[in-house]
């Protein structure tokens, strides 16, 4: 991990999940997200303490385990407040909800891994209680009520609203909870005018326009492929297999629930857009293109 200064009061800790740092005064900072696990939280604490600073609060962009994994250890050692918005507050307080939501039932033990299941922490509802110099805004789509943060230095922390070219080219199917909201957020991002943009899993950049187009094009590519797979009656399980085969992906437990959930989101979008329909035959659910 490396602390990088990007504004008078704004820093970030460069890591697999980038961590925002905002200095509210000579001693106190708020951090944005807390990394993937307890070890990440300890390393964040070490970096902050080495600067002679105290963590006053943690702002949760969204409740995926790789963004809240350090919450518990940091809160225990600093007694800091943790702020999360709407549904993200519930998932952060009760992180068993993430593997339960992804699996669609009570998760078996192997699903309770650190990539899907963080530790509990005490959370305050985010409303009008951020320090002066910080503001939040919605970034729905990737997750339920994900938010971004803008600092007084005109630096935008954009969480997982965009995925890197490396991630897209390697995995193609990045996690999306709501396809329509994700596309709407991409349109919103194109209106932003900031000095610098910090995404959770990308290099810092002063121009996100090409990344917006890359993400948008990949979403439409996936929509087209899923739609074409429905030219004949097809089950979800077959769609899942065909998409993994199409992109030469290898199935494992985490990918099964993450990509599986994402493909269901694509199917929901196509159903709501009146592109495909579904029916039940012989106790199986089939999807098929809708004849207009």
Report the SS3 class of residue 234. Answer: strand
The residues of the chain that CATH labels 1.10.10 are: 221-289
- Which pLDDT score is estimated for 292? 73
The residues of the chain that CATH labels 3.60.15.10 are: 2-160
Residues in Cβ contact with 87 at an 8 Å cutoff, skipping those fewer than 6 apart: 63, 144, 145
Q: Where are the alpha helices (DSSP H) in 79-191?
A: 87-93, 97-103, 165-171, 179-189
Average pLDDT over residues 6-35: 97
221-289: CATH topology is Arc Repressor Mutant, subunit A (1.10.10)
Enter the pTM of the model.
0.96
173-216: per-residue pLDDT in tens?
999 999 999 999 999 999 999 999 999 999 999 999 999 999 99
Cα 89 from Cα 250, distance rounded (Å): 33
43-57: per-residue pLDDT in tens?
999 999 999 999 999
2-160: CATH topology is Metallo-beta-lactamase; Chain A (3.60.15)
138-166: per-residue pLDDT in tens?
999 999 999 999 999 999 999 999 999 99
Q: Quote the mean pLDDT of the chain.
A: 97
């Amino acid at each position: 991990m490396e602390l990088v200064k990007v504004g008078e009061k704004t820093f970030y800790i460069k890591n697999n999940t980038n961590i925002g740092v905002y200095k509210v005064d000579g001693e106190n900072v708020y951090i944005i997200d807390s990394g993937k696990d307890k070890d990440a939280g300890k390393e964040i604490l070490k970096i902050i303490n080495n600067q002679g600073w105290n963590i006053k609060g943690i702002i949760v962009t969204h409740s995926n385990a790789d963004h809240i994994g350090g919450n518990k250890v940091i809160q225990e050692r600093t007694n800091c407040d943790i702020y999360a918005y709407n549904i993200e507050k519930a998932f952060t307080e009760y992180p068993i909800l993430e593997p339960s939501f992804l699996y669609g039932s009570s998760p078996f033990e192997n699903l309770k891994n650190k990539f899907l299941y963080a530790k509990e922490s005490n959370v305050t509802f985010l409303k009008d209680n951020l320090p002066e110099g910080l503001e939040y805004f919605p970034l729905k789509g990737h997750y339920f009520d994900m938010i971004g943060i803008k600092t007084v230095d005109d630096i935008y922390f954009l969480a997982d609203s965009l995925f890197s070219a490396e991630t897209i080219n390697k995995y193609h199917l990045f996690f999306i909870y709501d396809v329509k909201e994700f596309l709407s957020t991409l349109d919103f991002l194109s209106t932003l005018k900031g000095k610098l943009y910090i995404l959770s899993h990308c290099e810092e950049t002063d121009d996100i326009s090409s990344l917006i187009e890359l993400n948008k094009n990949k979403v439409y590519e996936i929509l087209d492929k899923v739609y074409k797979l429905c030219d004949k009656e097809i089950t979800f399980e077959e769609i899942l297999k065909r998409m993994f085969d199409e992109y030469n992906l290898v199935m494992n437990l985490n990918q099964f629930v993450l990509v599986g959930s994402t493909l269901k989101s694509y199917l929901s979008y196509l159903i709501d857009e009146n592109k495909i329909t579904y029916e039940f035959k012989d106790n199986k659910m089939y999807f098929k293109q809708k004849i207009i």
